[in-house]
């Protein structure tokens, strides 16, 4: 396993669930604001906004909070303006890390991200320093309960997807960047709204690490994702299922 899709739920364990949910809502709200500023308030014509709303609903974000974020993005309500920034660097073991952020203070966020890398065995580099190790692709996720593996594979490829990876909990459908919206809409017509649909950074090759290095990497990811400004973290590391089970226990 490697990359954001496999690790994004690991940190959401029991304890302080209300605080964690508040952070999730903050991140989702920022994405909605940014999506509206970039493409307007109509989710039918603004694919990014539609995807953000789907993500928010999947996390049970209250409807009034979603609407408030849309109004902040349109200027109907006052609020912060966010800049989209990508950070790239190396984590423990030389593993490539990409961090996507939405921030109202570039200097603060850059200092915090740099400090996170330095304190947890990594180095923050320039944009492009590790990006060449990843492809930016569309990723759509459905619970395995909506369709059998073969049925999802056939439907996704018919819709124009490049590949499908089915696990114990989710079908993960990958598309070219330009095909994400069309594939999402086709699968939506057949299976209903996806759990998520967004552009992601998918590693071209993975880097195997030992258990101790994996533990350090997961700590770095945890710290980064705890930052309100950070939206997504992607890596290219890989460990065995046995090691991951021990680390996530």
pLDDT, one tens digit per residue, over 213-228 is 999 999 999 999 999 9
What's this model's pTM, rounded to 2 decimal places? Answer: 0.84
Cα dihedral value 64, 225, 98, 60, nearest 10: -30
Are 44 and 117 within one domain? no
CATH code (residue 185): 3.30.70.980
pLDDT, one tens digit per residue, over 42-81 is 998 898 898 899 889 888 999 999 999 999 999 998 877 8
- Residue 7's pLDDT band, with cuts at 50, 70 and 90, is very low
Q: Using the predicted structure, report yes or no on whether residue 116 has a pLDDT greater than 80.
A: yes
What mean pLDDT do residues 179-203 have?
92
Range of the domain at 33: 8-74
Q: Phi/psi at 136 (nearest 5 deg)? A: -90, 120
What mean pLDDT do residues 25-54 have?
92
> What are the helix (H) ranges across the chain?
4-7, 17-39, 47-58, 63-74, 106-119, 149-159, 180-191, 211-225, 241-248
Please tell me the predicted confidence (pLDDT) of residue 5.
Answer: 40
Q: What is the distance between the alpha carbons of residues 13 and 9, in angstroms, rounded to a whole number?
A: 8
Please tell me the predicted confidence (pLDDT) of residue 1.
Answer: 38
- Residue 95's pLDDT band, with cuts at 50, 70 and 90, is very high
205 contacts 165 by C-beta, under 8 angstroms: no
Number of structural domains found in the chain: 2
Please tell me the predicted confidence (pLDDT) of residue 242.
Answer: 81
The angle formed by the CA atoms of residues 194, 74 and 140, to the nearest 5 degrees, is 15
Residue where a domain stops, chosen among 50, 74, 98: 74
Are 230 and 247 within one domain? yes
Q: Using the predicted structure, report yes or no on whether residue 16 has a pLDDT greater than 90.
A: no
Please tell me the predicted confidence (pLDDT) of residue 12.
Answer: 36
Are 158 and 228 within one domain? yes
> What are the helix (H) ranges across 106-164?
106-119, 149-159
Residue where a domain stops, chosen among 27, 47, 74: 74
Q: Using the predicted structure, report yes or no on whether residue 247 has a pLDDT greater than 80.
A: no
What mean pLDDT do residues 82-88 have?
94
Q: Using the predicted structure, report yes or no on whether residue 3 has a pLDDT greater than 50.
A: no
183 contacts 141 by C-beta, under 8 angstroms: no
Q: Using the predicted structure, report yes or no on whether residue 179 has a pLDDT greater than 90.
A: yes
CB atoms within 10 A of CB 133: 17
Residue where a domain stops, chosen among 27, 52, 74: 74
């Amino acid at each position: 396993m490697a990359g954001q899709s496999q690790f994004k739920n690991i940190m959401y364990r029991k304890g302080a669930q209300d605080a964690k949910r508040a952070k999730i809502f903050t991140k989702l709200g920022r994405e909605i604001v940014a999506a509206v500023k970039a493409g307007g308030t109509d989710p039918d014509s603004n694919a990014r906004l539609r995807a953000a709303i789907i993500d928010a609903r999947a996390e049970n974000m209250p409807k009034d909070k979603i609407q408030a974020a849309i109004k902040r993005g349109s200027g109907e309500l006052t609020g912060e303006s966010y800049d989209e920034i990508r950070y790239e660097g190396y984590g423990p073991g030389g593993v490539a890390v990409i961090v996507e952020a939405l921030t109202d203070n570039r200097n603060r966020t850059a200092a915090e991200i740099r400090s996170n890398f330095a304190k947890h065995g990594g180095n923050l580099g320039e944009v492009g320093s590790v990006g060449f190790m990843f492809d930016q692709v569309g990723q759509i996720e459905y619970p395995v309960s909506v369709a059998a593996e073969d049925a999802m594979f056939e439907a996704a490829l018919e819709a124009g997807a490049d590949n499908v990876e089915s696990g114990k909990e989710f079908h993960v459908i990958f598309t070219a960047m330009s095909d994400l919206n069309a594939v999402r809409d086709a699968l939506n017509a057949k299976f209903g709204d996806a759990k998520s649909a967004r552009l992601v950074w998918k590693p071209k090759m993975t880097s195997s690490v030992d258990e101790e290095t994996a533990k350090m990497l997961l700590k770095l990811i945890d710290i980064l994702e705890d930052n309100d400004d950070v939206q997504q973290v992607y890596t290219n590391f890989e460990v065995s299922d046995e090691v991951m089970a021990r680390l996530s226990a």
